[in-house]
Amino acid sequence: MGTTRIKVIDLSSDHKEIKTSRKHAEKLSGVAALKEKKKPKAKIEKKSEEKAVTESTPSVPSVPSKPSVPPAIKKPSAPPASVPPAVARHHHLGKKYYQASALVDKNKLYPSKEALELLVKTSFTRFDPTVEIHLNVSDKNIRGKVNFPHSVGPKKEKRYLIFSNQIPDTKYQIPVVWGNEKTIDEIAAGRFKPKKDFDVVISTPKFMPLLAKVAKILGPAGLMPNPKNNTIAEDVTSVINKTSETSFEYKTDPTAPIIHTSLGKLSEKPQAIQENLKALVASIGPTKIKKAVLTTTMGPGIKLDITSVGR
């Protein structure tokens, strides 16, 4: 496109009309001078004020900032002199525990009678605590059953599964199920389950080859008949009478050669707890026990002299 042409009339000249370009026309008329951008007055005034302030105020030398000092770390307050060292080490156990543990000599092996008397003095719970014993033994695979003279904990009625060719005419006061080859097939198929349908398995020697079929099921449940547990015998009646007593199963901890068992409640007579302790030590064997500690629920431990248990 071409440039636009504008007619300009100059009255002073002889020529009334002049044809020229737009830019030339603006120069002639002075319009270009009016289009210059004007600077804002506010900015100019601010700059002038800043210059005046800088000229009036003298320059002050900058002071170097002091390095920040970290806050002092508070050291843990030392325990008062009246608190024994044992309390300072185990402050999370509670005040009552320290009062009870102060009655126990940690370096002494207490006779069984004296230890049982001390259990009553060191117990501070409001409920009836359980008397516990913790035994360090020489073997990791110690396991067995003991018939306590006195019951330990609530009594539970056990169901007996007996494999025998001769079924006696005597009636038992306990639940008894007589097994055969069909019963073994039901156990293998999972229709007759240990710990759910029966709690104890007793067998005659003739049935043991047949029970080998379900040994992988009865073994992990601890119900495989074994001569050590007196669950294999020709006279089934005598075995039932022995196992129906207050029997208790003990075994070592899976991670260490330690046996944890209970001997009864603290409210029972000390003689009853001592008789249960004597039966347990006799079942395990005094020579296999390296260390024994008696305690109650939430109470301090009392080291026990094993040689004094059988006296």
181 lies in a domain? yes
Q: Which residue has the higher pLDDT, 250 or 16?
A: 250
Note whether residue 58 is domain-resident: no
Identify whether residues 280 and 259 lie together within a single domain.
yes
Identify the domain boundary among 218, 245, 272.
245
Q: Is residue 295 part of a domain?
A: yes
Please report which confidence band the pLDDT of residue 64 belongs to, taking 50, 70 and 90 as the band edges: low
pLDDT digits (tens, 9 = 90+) for 88-97: 554 556 788 8
Domain annotation covers residue 82: no
Domain, as residue range, for 281: 105-152+249-308
Please report the pLDDT score of residue 303 as a whole number.
92
Verify that 126 and 111 share a domain, yes or no. yes
pTM of the full structure: 0.50
Q: Which residues 6+ apart lie within 8 Å of 134 measured at CB?
A: 258, 259, 260, 292, 293, 295, 301
d(CA 94, CA 98): 7
Q: Looking at 194, 223, 245, which one is the last position of a domain? A: 245
18-56 pLDDT tens trace:
555 666 656 655 555 555 544 454 444 555 555 554 554
Q: Report the chain's C-alpha Rg in angstroms.
A: 50
For residue 39, the one-letter residue type is: K
Q: Are residues 261 and 135 in the same domain?
A: yes
The answer as to whether 128 is a domain residue is yes
Shared domain for 124 and 172, answered yes or no, is no
The answer to whether residue 4 sits within a structural domain is: no
Task: Tell me the C-alpha distance between 181 and 160, whole Å.
Answer: 16
Asked if 131 and 260 sit in the same domain, the reply is yes
Same domain, 146 and 269: yes
Look up the CATH number of the domain holding residue 145.
Answer: 3.30.190.20
Can you give the pLDDT at residue 185? Answer: 92
Q: Specify whether 119 is located in the same domain as 237.
A: no
Q: What are 222-241's pLDDT values in tens digits?
A: 889 888 777 888 877 777 76
Q: Total structural domains in the chain? A: 2
Residues 98, 149: Cα–Cα separation, whole Å? 34
Which residues 6+ apart lie within 8 Å of 141 measured at CB? 252
Residues 139 and 190 in one domain: no
Residues 235 and 253 in one domain: no
Does one domain contain both 241 and 255? no
pLDDT score of 77 more than 70: no
Please identify, among 245, 262, 284, the residue that sits at the C-terminal boundary of a domain.
245
Q: What is the pLDDT of residue 8?
A: 52
173 and 240 share a domain?
yes
Gap between the Cα atoms of 262 and 27, Å rounded: 117
Task: Please check whether residues 141 and 187 belong to one and the same domain.
Answer: no
In a domain? residue 6: no
As a whole-number percent, the residues of the chain with pLDDT over 90 amount to 14
Q: How far from each other are the two terminal CA atoms of the chain, in whole angstroms? A: 131
- Which CATH number belongs to the domain containing residue 239 in this structure? 3.40.50.790
Evaluate whether residue 116 is within a structural domain.
yes
